[in-house]
Amino acid sequence: MQDLIIEAWGNRDLLKDKKYSDAIREVIEALDKGQLRVAEKRKPNGK
């Protein structure tokens, strides 16, 4: 699913294809339900 989202990020026309839009909706739904979390890498100094 990550590959589909990365592809769609680079080419927004892919969002017209159901498999790409479904993948994005699925991830958003999982985020909303708390099933997934978002984090970012930080350098050792905390920035």
pTM: 0.72
Structure tokens at 21: 């839009």
* Predicted local distance difference test score (pLDDT) of residue 20: 96
- Contact status, residue 28 vs residue 13, Cβ threshold 8 Å: no
Looking at the structure of the chain, the number of domains it has is: 1
* Predicted local distance difference test score (pLDDT) of residue 6: 95
Q: Taking 70 as the threshold, does the pLDDT of residue 47 lie above it?
A: no
Expressed as residue numbers, the domain containing 16 is: 1-47
* Predicted local distance difference test score (pLDDT) of residue 46: 63
- Residue 26 zone, left/alpha/beta (φ > 0; ψ -120 to 50; rest): alpha
pLDDT in tens, 3-46: 999 999 999 999 999 999 999 999 999 999 999 998 888 888 76
